[in-house]
Structure 1
Amino acid sequence: MGVATHNIIGRLAASVGALGAVAPQFEAVLDVPHGGVLCALPALLAVGLLDGITDYFPLQSGYYGPDSLLLLLAFMALSRINSIEGLRDHAPGEWGKLLGLDRVPEVRTLRQKVREMSHAGKPRQWSAALAQRWLAAAPEQANALYIDGHVRVYYGQQTRLPKHYVAREKLCLRATVDYWVNAMDGQPFMVINQVVDPGLIRVIEDDILPRLESMHPALTEPLPTAGRARHRFILVFDREGYSPDFFARLRAKQVACLTYHKYPEAAWSENEFHNQPVPLVSGQIVTMQLAERGVRLSNGLWLREIRKLSQSGHQTAILTT
């Protein structure tokens, strides 16, 4: 039956369709490679990794169930195994002990199962359900969402992706762009991959906001008439998202924004700056020299401009609605 296939009865039952998926059975063992990943198991379960997966990933009857497959992929990521092919370099029986099985699936089998879960399953709905759960569980963190794009270089040969500028390489390379939506402490809520990058503004309006409208607790509940003038939550992004018309469209949707001023005017007088205590996400309180003015943009939109004075005399200009 293969290397480390000790559960003969379970495999025979699965082969004739008498077993939906084998139940994990953990045993006391010593010196298991990568055994430290089990310390992350409570955290993976706490974030809802396995909640309702049979509804989103209904696999055909077989030896490996969707819960074992998802845990295997999670443990591979924690062990820095960057691809399914990389599993060939590891002992299948040792990895099976981490899942409570006799061995993990062979690479071809794992590819087949992942393909089945991707096409026959509902990965987008599963991801949206997880994001909605995380947003509802942390309403204070969901009030301020940080959006940032990261270029991911593609080194394969199976497709000809468009080139993107990679800052760390100072080159234009074939890559895709991942737009992450995080809490201010770095906890991720969702990620959107763009093969052809339309830019941050288009991604926010066409992809991020439509998804948030169906899952963010501040958008799924109607706002009283008296509160129509206030914002539901705030989006934080870099100067790529600077656009007066974009700011106006966000305000119409009752979404505040915070970003760098792309075209700041002359430096302000240092007499305007005063020491202000600023609480950080970590709970630490730091003192910054801050000043504030109102500013009217080219389209007539009135915003707040806040500047931070550094010890070198540089003034960082930030706009917010």
Structure 2
Amino acid sequence: MVNPEYRRLDSQIRSSQGKLNRLLARFATLTLDAPIEPDKVEPFLQKKTICQEEIEAFQVQIKTLKEKRKQTPHYLKVKDLPEEEQFQQLSTKSKHFIDTIKMIAYRAETAMANLLRETLSRPDEVRSLLRAIYSSEADLIPDHEQGTLTVKLHHLANRSYDVAIQKLCDELNSTETKFPRTNLRMIFKLGSK
């Protein structure tokens, strides 16, 4: 991977080079438009001198940074990274929590797949149908008076898929699931009826 020190030096060089370019442009635009009189020439010379000194300072700084960058290895192995730059491993508690959520989602999908297998002629299409349901749009219609949240799924291209989805909707409706943190009972429907 790219050495963080090399990246930092490279960033400083680019920043300093940009500032130097702006100073050079400003230096080029400094002209004495007034008549040559001591009270006009002195401030002009001071501005030019200050600008010239800043330019020279940036040139020295850039040269020093480039020398440091040249001596710094461009790439490092991860094991050679300084302590503060090393990657932090995800804590085992977080990993177990995420794995638990994944397992719950997989089991829920498997339960739905087993239900749909009975209605589809090709059982190998079940998971792809579920993925199509997950990625398709749905209309959410809350009704606080009735205490329901209607989820209207849109028809898919294949009629046999619609039959399978209707069966899934009927099964989900029979569970009378409440939407989290509300008292709205979820109702699943297919199409606009």
- Structure with greater proportional strand content: 1
User: TM-score over 0.5 for the alignment?
Assistant: no
Greater helix fraction, Structure 1 or Structure 2 = 2
Q: Which structure has the greater CA radius of gyration?
A: 2
TM-score by length of 1: 0.14
- Give the TM-score taking structure 2 as reference length: 0.20
> Which of the pair has the greater relative contact order for Cα pairs under 8 Å at 6+ separation?
2
